[in-house]
């Protein structure tokens, strides 16, 4: 073993507070597994706008107690540097039900209190939206939630909220990362929690905090439309996560008494034993909740992901089966519903560049202002906050990956308020003798049948850089349709078919967007480091008077298949 690696390992062993990971590291040393040791000390788990996310294990490339302590020391130093009264305002900390989350959260609390920073620590597991809520509710300087959301069991994560209640964006990510690098070379301050309590630095967030969030949902002006609840029943799964208690409670508060939880998935379990992948979007993940819905002939089969910031739903069809709605369909339905009830001074809504364009068309129908951001709720919420004004208040935002924000109770995606809103929409329709499918068809008939698809294309190692190729050879047509405009988010410039150019008000990103004459759209996200691109497609088919849902969908799917095929054929191989 080389001297540098040996030094890194010894340094780590001397600092690691966890007997479990020290034993794992010692086992690698004893077996002389230099390849694995080198990989585990090849760098450091990168801290970015999503915080940290990685597999739990030994060394600086994994999630473990020493990495958490170093990260927290870096975050604490950055807060003290950036926010004058950060120590007094404090940091809210919550955690999910994964095996290491409790220890990680408590370690973070010990580090911050040792730095003189007040900490508000949840006394039990908490859904991610509660931490985002807590930052606003307690006027804290920041928030930390220990969660890996819907990642597999071997993962954990560390997400940071800024003082505005939204996820961090640049430059805070790089600023915190620099402080973490510095903290990793120093002794980490640490205060036992009982001492922190005695020094009045640690405040436990007891049940009254959870009740404050519950009351916030009950009082939310966007969630006051309560009629027809007796006509709606729903099955629910927390997917072995932390959402069940609060989801069942807020649904009951809203008048929904026919709620049937999947018992096998109700309690937190970091092993996620009944699903291959605890993500409602994954094939098979909704099987148990759909089976529960069938047993009760429920209207809806609903799911939160394990940290309850995402919401998924399957809706009963006329033949008694259940069909999943896409994230775009849920977003469009919720947007339409909320806009139909919203006062004129609260209609601001947003979505991301890769989500359906349909919400903006619906918003125009209501005379509402829409905004579009890069992918991710960090962008959706920070832009929403910046545009939120007394005469143009924020109403709703969503992204296609099952994330929805309703009102300003939480400046992040919230699967708990989303489930209430969707149940209320379903109830309102039922009271008028209609279904979710009826409403979606009405929207499609008015604005066109919108079909969206996403394709990841693995290219050959010798394939030219796709981004460079497309910028040097801009397409004039894709398939049989002319390109109306091309957006290059790297140069932040839109080029129209007539040659005119316009600036784009977004952060720079390696993304290309093509709008076509038939209302279709292609978004290309090239990779500069591997031969792979991700493409997002949208097709819009006009629904005629003679069209049924099935005929319009079949035509859209045929058009989509041809569209994807022609686009991929135009790329270098």
Catalytic (active-site) positions: 149
Cis peptide before 171 (omega within 30 of 0): yes
Q: What are phi and psi of 368, to 5 degrees?
A: -100, 155
* DSSP H helical ranges for 465-535: 466-472
Could you tell me which residues come within 8 angstroms of residue 476 by beta carbon, excluding any fewer than 6 positions away? 482, 483, 497
Distances (CA, A) of 501 to 31, 217, 483, 494: 62, 45, 14, 5
Rg (CA), the chain: 25
| Contact by Cβ (8 Å): 165, 325 | no
513 phi/psi in degrees, rounded to 5: -125, 130
Q: Give the whole-angstrom CA distance, residue 345 versus residue 387.
A: 13
Determine the Cα angle at 129 with ends 290 and 407, to 5°.
95
Cα–Cα distance, 486 to 498 (Å, whole number)? 11
Tokens of 401: 């990956």
Distance CA 308, CA 315 (A): 19
Q: Which of 339, 340, 284, 338 is nearest to 312 (CA)?
A: 284
Helix (H, G, I), strand (E, B) or coil at 546: coil
């Amino acid at each position: 073993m080389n001297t540098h690696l040996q030094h890194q390992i010894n340094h780590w062993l001397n600092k690691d507070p966890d007997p479990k990971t020290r034993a794992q590291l010692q086992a690698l040393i004893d077996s002389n597994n230099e390849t694995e040791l080198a990989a585990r000390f090849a760098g450091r788990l990168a801290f970015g706008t999503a915080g940290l996310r990685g597999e739990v294990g030994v060394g600086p490339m994994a999630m473990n107690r020493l990495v958490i302590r170093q990260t927290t020391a870096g975050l604490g130093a950055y807060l003290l540097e950036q926010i004058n009264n950060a120590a007094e305002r404090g940091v809210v900390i919550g955690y999910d039900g994964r095996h290491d989350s409790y220890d990680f959260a408590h370690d973070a609390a010990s580090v911050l209190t040792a730095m003189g920073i007040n900490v508000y620590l949840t006394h039990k597991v908490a859904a991610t939206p509660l931490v985002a809520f807590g930052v606003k509710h307690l006027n804290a300087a920041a928030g930390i939630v220990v969660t890996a959301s819907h990642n597999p069991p071997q993962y954990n994560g560390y997400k940071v909220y800024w003082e505005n209640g939204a996820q961090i964006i640049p430059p805070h990510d790089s600023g915190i990362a620099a402080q973490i690098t510095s903290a990793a070379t120093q002794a980490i301050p640490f205060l036992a929690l009982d001492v922190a309590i005695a020094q009045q630095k640690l405040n436990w967030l007891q049940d009254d905090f959870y009740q404050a969030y519950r009351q916030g949902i009950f009082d939310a002006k966007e969630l006051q439309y309560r009629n027809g609840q007796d006509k709606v029943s729903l099955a629910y799964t927390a997917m072995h996560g932390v959402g069940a208690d609060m989801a069942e409670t807020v649904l009951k508060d809203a008048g929904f008494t026919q709620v049937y939880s999947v018992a096998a998935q109700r309690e937190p379990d970091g092993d996620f034993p009944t699903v291959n992948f605890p993500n409602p979007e994954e094939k098979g993940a909704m099987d148990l909740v759909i089976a529960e819905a069938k047993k009760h002939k429920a209207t809806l089969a609903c799911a939160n992901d394990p940290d309850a910031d995402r919401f998924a739903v399957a809706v009963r069809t006329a033949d008694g089966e259940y069909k999943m709605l896409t994230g775009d369909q849920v977003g469009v339905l919720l947007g339409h519903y909320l806009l139909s009830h919203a006062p004129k001074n609260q209609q601001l809504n947003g979505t991301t560049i890769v989500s359906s364009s349909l919400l903006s068309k619906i918003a125009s129908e209501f005379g509402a202002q829409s905004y579009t951001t890069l992918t991710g709720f960090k962008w959706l919420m920070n832009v929403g906050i910046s545009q939120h004004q007394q005469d143009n208040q924020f109403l709703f935002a969503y992204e296609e990956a099952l994330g929805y924000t309703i009102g300003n109770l939480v400046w992040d995606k919230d699967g708990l308020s989303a489930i209430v809103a969707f149940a209320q929409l379903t109830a309102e329709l039922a009271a008028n003798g209609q279904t979710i499918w009826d409403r979606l068809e009405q929207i499609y008939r008015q604005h066109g049948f919108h079909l969206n698809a996403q394709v990841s294309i693995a290219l050959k190692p010798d394939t030219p850089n796709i981004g460079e190729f497309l910028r040097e050879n801009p397409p004039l047509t894709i398939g049989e349709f002319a390109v109306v405009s091309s957006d290059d988010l790297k140069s932040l410039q839109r080029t129209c078919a007539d040659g005119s150019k316009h600036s784009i008000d977004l952060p720079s990103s390696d993304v290309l967007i093509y709008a076509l004459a038939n209302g279709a759209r292609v978004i290309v996200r090239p990779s500069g480091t591997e031969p792979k691109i991700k493409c997002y497609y949208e097709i819009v088919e006009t629904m005629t008077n003679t069209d049924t849902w099935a005929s319009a969908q079949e035509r859209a799917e045929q058009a989509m298949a041809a569209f994807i095929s022609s686009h991929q054929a135009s790329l270098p191989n």
